[in-house]
């Protein structure tokens, strides 16, 4: 199992770079960041510094979207970093939640997202693609490589992931839901004539190592609110009892009452009071190192290839160190 670290690009950028260096030294393989231009600093600028100050870390957004930047700009940015540092980038992509809504736009359609996945990958790897009806190829790219992993929850998005993406990003660590969603992705891949085992599975969730569970839950409760935004979209699209999405995922948002993106992804978010302890425990990894190892072994048995640690809490350094000292060695490979 590979391991990633996920950070917000809060200033100073030097702090993000240092945490990524710490992660690489602790055995992490991937360095991910949020991508929301209004809420945080521009990640692609910071990726250049991370790549400069690390040797093997693969970096990218968790997640970008097709609407914030034009597709040829996104592709060229990845390709430039790859040309400078040797194909060490990855593109996590989704419809766009905070990045689009904070700017007053709606998330992208799945049709647009599916087109963007293929176009950005083709352009970043030096192939011709059609952009707004025009054939485009970036001529200076040689031997470029850009895996594109898609974030998804709902049935149609999971199907699209299996049909077109190189990997699947699931932003929660509940084993029951992981099994259900991984099966949906792999089934869609097989039906599209692809090798279902070739789709990389990445679970991303907060991890907090320590014995004080009450404190850990309060530090990670924000995650249930963030996931709740996507769940609310699913309920509005499919209905609360449609059977298209497990009620095991949707039931907890009944008491949800709006969401203020100024607190997005942050400890102490006042819009997450509706998130019960049960959801925090199911969606996150909390407790002593042994509890993390046990849950990660369950996830690995379900086909998870990477666990990406959301470190938006008061124990970033100690969590990175605990993973490096005890957890990664127990699950590496």
Query: pLDDT tens digits, residue range 234-255?
Result: 887 777 666 778 888 888 887 7
Q: Are 4 and 29 in contact (CB under 8 A)?
A: yes
- Residue 212 reports pLDDT greater than 80: yes
Angstrom CA distances, 171 to 141, 194, 206, 281, stand at 32, 24, 9, 14
- Given a cut of 80, whether residue 110 has pLDDT beyond it is yes
Please state the rounded mean pLDDT for residues 18-37: 97
Task: Give CA separation, 5 vs 64, 183, 240, in Å.
Answer: 16, 25, 33
Q: Which residue has the higher pLDDT, 150 or 256?
A: 150
Give residue-wise pLDDT tens across range 72-90: 999 999 999 999 999 999 9
Query: Could you write out the three-class secondary structure of the chain?
Result: CEEEEEECCCCCHHHHHHHHHHHHHCCCCEEEECCCCCCCCCHHHHHHHHHHCCCCCEEEECCECCCCCCHHHHHHHHHHHHHHHCCCECEEECCCCHHHHCCCCCCCCHHHHHHHHHHHHHHHCCCCEEECCEEECCCCCCCCCCCEEEECCCHHHHHHHHHHCCEEEECCCCHHHHHHHHHHHHHHHHHCCCCHHHCEEEEEEEEEECCCHHHHHHHHCHHHHHHHHHHHHHHHHHCCCCCCCCHHHHHHHHHCCCCCHHHCCCCCCHHHCCCCHHHHHHHCEEECHHHHHHHHHHHHHCCCCEEEEECCCCCHHHHHHHHHHHHHHHHCC
Q: What is the pLDDT of residues 122-179, one digit of tens each?
A: 999 999 999 999 999 999 999 999 999 999 999 999 999 999 999 999 999 999 999 9
pLDDT in the model for residue 241: 67
In angstroms, the first-to-last Cα distance of the chain is 5
Mean pLDDT is lowest, of 190-194, 222-226, 230-234, for 230-234
Residues 6 or more apart in contact with residue 231 via CB below 8 angstroms: 153, 245, 249, 250, 252, 253
Rounded to 5 degrees, φ, ψ at 134 are -115, 135
pLDDT beyond 70 at 43: yes
Using alpha carbons, select from 326, 319, 327, 329 the residue that is nearest to residue 5.
319
Percent of the chain clearing pLDDT 70 (strictly above)? 98
pTM comes to 0.94
Token output for 22: 């710490």
- Cα gap 277→261, rounded to integer Å: 22
State how beta strands 129-131 and 91-93 pair: unpaired
Predicted confidence at residue 268, as pLDDT, reads 81
59/41 Cα distance (integer angstroms)? 16
Residue 333 predicted with pLDDT over 70: no
Does residue 14 have a pLDDT over 70? yes
Q: Which of 181-195, 251-265, 319-333 has the lowest mean pLDDT?
A: 251-265
Examine the pLDDT at 55 and tell me if it is beyond 80.
Answer: yes
In this prediction, residue 332 carries a pLDDT of 80
- Give me the percent of the chain exceeding a pLDDT of 90: 79
At 238 the pLDDT is: 79
Q: Find the mean pLDDT for residues 46-51.
A: 98
- Please report which confidence band the pLDDT of residue 314 belongs to, taking 50, 70 and 90 as the band edges: very high
29: pLDDT strictly greater than 80: yes
Tell me the pLDDT of the chain averaged across its residues: 93
């Amino acid at each position: 199992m590979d391991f990633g670290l996920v950070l917000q690009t809060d200033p100073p950028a030097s702090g993000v770079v240092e945490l990524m260096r710490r992660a690489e030294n602790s055995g992490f393989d991937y360095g991910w960041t949020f991508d929301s231009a209004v809420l945080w600093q521009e990640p692609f600028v910071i990726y250049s510094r991370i790549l400069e100050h690390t040797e093997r870390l693969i970096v990218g957004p968790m997640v970008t979207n097709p609407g914030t930047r034009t597709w040829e700009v996104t592709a060229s940015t990845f390709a430039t970093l790859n040309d400078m540092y040797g194909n060490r980038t990855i593109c996590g992509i989704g419809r766009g939640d905070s990045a689009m809504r904070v700017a007053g736009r709606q998330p992208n359609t799945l049709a647009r997202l599916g087109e963007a996945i293929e176009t950005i990958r083709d352009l970043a790897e030096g192939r011709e693609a059609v952009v707004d009806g025009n054939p485009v190829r970036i001529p200076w790219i040689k031997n470029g490589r850009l895996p594109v992993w898609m974030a998804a929850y709902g049935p149609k998005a999971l199907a699209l992931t299996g049909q077109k993406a190189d990997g699947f990003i699931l932003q929660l660590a509940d084993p029951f839901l992981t099994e259900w969603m991984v099966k949906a992705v792999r089934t869609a891949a097989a039906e599209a004539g692809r090798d279902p085992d070739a789709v990389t599975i990445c679970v991303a969730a907060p991890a907090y190592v320590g014995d004080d569970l009450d404190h850990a839950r309060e530090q990670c409760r924000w995650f249930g609110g963030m996931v709740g935004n996507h769940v609310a979209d699913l309920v509005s699209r499919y209905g609360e009892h449609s059977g298209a999405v497990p009620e095991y995922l949707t039931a907890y948002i009944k008491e949800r009452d709006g969401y203020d993106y100024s607190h997005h992804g942050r400890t102490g978010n006042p819009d997450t009071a509706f998130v019960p302890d049960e959801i925090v425990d199911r969606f996150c990894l909390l407790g002593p190192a042994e509890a993390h190892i046990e849950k990660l072994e369950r996830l690995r048995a379900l086909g998870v290839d990477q666990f990406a640690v959301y470190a938006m809490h008061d124990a970033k350094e100690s969590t990175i160190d605990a993973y490096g000292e005890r957890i990664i060695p127990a699950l590496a490979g």
